[in-house]
Amino acid sequence: MSYDRRGRPVLHVNHATTAAPGGANEDYLVTGPAWIAVLDGATAPRGVDSGCVHDVRWLVRTLAMAVAARIEEPWPLTRVLDEAIHATMRAHGGGCDLLNPDSPSATIAIVRRTGDHVDYLVLCDSPIAIRRRDGSVTVVADDRLDHLPGGHPYRLELIRSLRNQPDGFWVASTAPHAAAEALTGSVPVADVTGIGMFTDGVTRLVEWYGRSWEQVLDTLTERGPASLLADVREAELAYGPPRPAKVHDDATAAWILPIPAT
């Protein structure tokens, strides 16, 4: 069914997440009957003082719970995220310097079904891919982080100066107005056969290892998210990173079926 016993629309969600081998998972996923949010915490470089007594895992958990507490309000997703960032800032308490440019941050993607439409929000590099009934795939990807001046690897000073700035990139951290800079939209449920959500530990299959988005969604359809994550680890071990980067990363994928009522 695509509606619960009270007639409220629901989503069918299958998901998987895994930490980079040897590390703690800084991705986070939270879901309800008609919505899902996927977050990817930004790992601070070794030795960097974030000015915060909390780590990135605290940030993604706290922000995810703040989104969950507001997602069923009749608000645009940008307002949901704005209010959630405000709440997370309050949760830091007085022991954290929220003006520090290295304060913990995260990407976030949200999908929510509202009646006969599915709304989405993407902030930073955790994209979604929508498979439509005609077989085409629409990818919603916020790639502003990939287009900073100077090319990879970016200098830490550059990241600090351009985070949550008009000519830079936007993340969920200590600037609630970043929510207004997210990529948003809505698609009719009747036009959709599935939606994939990913952290960038999964999208390296497309960006580094030659898979198409259609192939990624085929894997989700035929074998599920856990198999897709296994493919990521296999490719990482076989080919490594094509540029200076982590060999492994935390990886999260979700496959969503917003099936129309019949």
Q: Residues 223-238: pLDDT tens digits?
A: 999 999 999 999 999 9
- Give a yes or no: residue 1 inside a domain: no
**How far from chain centre, in Å, is Cα 93?**
25
pLDDT at 254: 98
Task: Supply φ then ψ for residue 164, to 5 degrees.
Answer: 55, 45
Give the pLDDT confidence score for residue 5 in this predicted structure. 55
Residue 133 has pLDDT above 70, yes or no: yes
Q: Total domain count for the chain? A: 1
Q: Could you tell me if residue 137 is inside a domain? A: yes
In a domain, 2, yes or no: no
CATH (domain of 52):
3.60.40.10
pLDDT one-digit tens code per residue, 194-206 = 999 999 999 999 9
Asked whether residue 51 carries a pLDDT value surpassing 90, the answer given is yes
> Which of 231, 210, 187, 214 has its CA nearest to residue 18?
231
Phi-psi region of 42 (alpha: psi -120 to 50; beta: other; left: phi over 0): beta
- If one compares 52 and 44, the residue with the highest pLDDT of the two is 52
Q: Does 5 reside within a domain?
A: no
Close Cβ partners of 172 (under 8 Å, ≥ 6 residues apart): 39, 63, 81, 84, 85, 105, 106, 107, 108, 123, 124, 178, 179
Q: Is residue 162 part of a domain?
A: yes
pTM above threshold 0.85: yes
Q: How does residue 7 score in pLDDT terms, banded at 50, 70 and 90?
A: low
The SS3 of residue 231 is: helix
For residue 216, the enclosing domain spans 10-259
